[in-house]
Amino acid sequence: MTKLSVNLNAVAQLRNRRDLPWPSVTGIARVVLDAGAAGITVHPRPDERHIRRSDVYELKALLAKDYPDAEFNIEGYPSEDFLALIADVDPDQVTLVPDDPAQATSDHGWDFVGEQALLTSVVQRLKTPSRRVSLFCDPDAGERGIAAAKVTGADRVELYTGPYGACFNDLAEARVELETLAETARAARAAGLGLNAGHDLTLANLPAFVAAVEGIDEVSIGHGITADALLFGFAEAVRRYIAVLR
């Protein structure tokens, strides 16, 4: 079954609107893990506009103490500050994204061919026997891009599903985007890479995605599940996403 990792950035961003400790990032992490989520994802940015460095350490402590089987996934651009944080926190998975610090959210994957030297160097710094490395991947990376990603030594790629998520009112275009994602997923599996996916996946579009794109190991969902939590509560939202993944 495809695992669900809940991205808590939106929870942190809501908290940061006020100088108050709620909603609690660790408190919501506990709720979603108790409801069946396989792990937690965070993307700490340099300006700490949502997840703060302190959140990263508090989540690590929570998982180590009360949820030792849950997976901690940290996303980010491989700056020296980010790499130092990873060395200190030692998460289960690192997802490298090519974001400029000023970006509102991740909106494209790596140029695996053009950035192959950088990525190879960083992946070798990050990989350990207990930690995997995933690379954010454009939906149309295709066989050439996947071959270059494989050379870096990464364990997985994470399919950027934003263009598919943007097709919520255009079923014909959604089918085109799904076939593009499926083609890249097939190339990744053939190359021996694991597959993650994330961005703008929702209860409405996730069923078609998991039906069309085979072999997804994990989805990381934040904005959509947080929006649904406003209606259903976080625990019920998590249960509904897991039901789709099953």
Catalytic positions, written as ranges: 43, 75, 199
Residues 6 or more apart whose Cβ sits within 8 Å of residue 148: 112, 113, 116
Question: Can you tell me the distance from the alpha carbon of 243 to that of 211, in angstroms, rounded to the nearest whole number?
Answer: 13
Whether the CA torsion 130, 136, 138, 141 is positive or negative: it is negative
- Separation CA 25–CA 7 (nearest Å): 10
Q: Alpha-carbon dihedral of residues 9, 10, 11, 12, nearest 10 degrees?
A: 50
Report the amino acid identity of residue 155.
D
Residue 48 half-sphere exposure toward CB, CA atoms < 13 A: 8
Contact between 230 and 24 under an 8 Å Cβ cutoff? The reply is no
Cα 93 to the center of its chain, rounded Å: 10
Cα separation, 149 vs 96, whole angstroms? 12
Task: Judge contact between 201 and 161, C-beta under 8 A.
Answer: yes
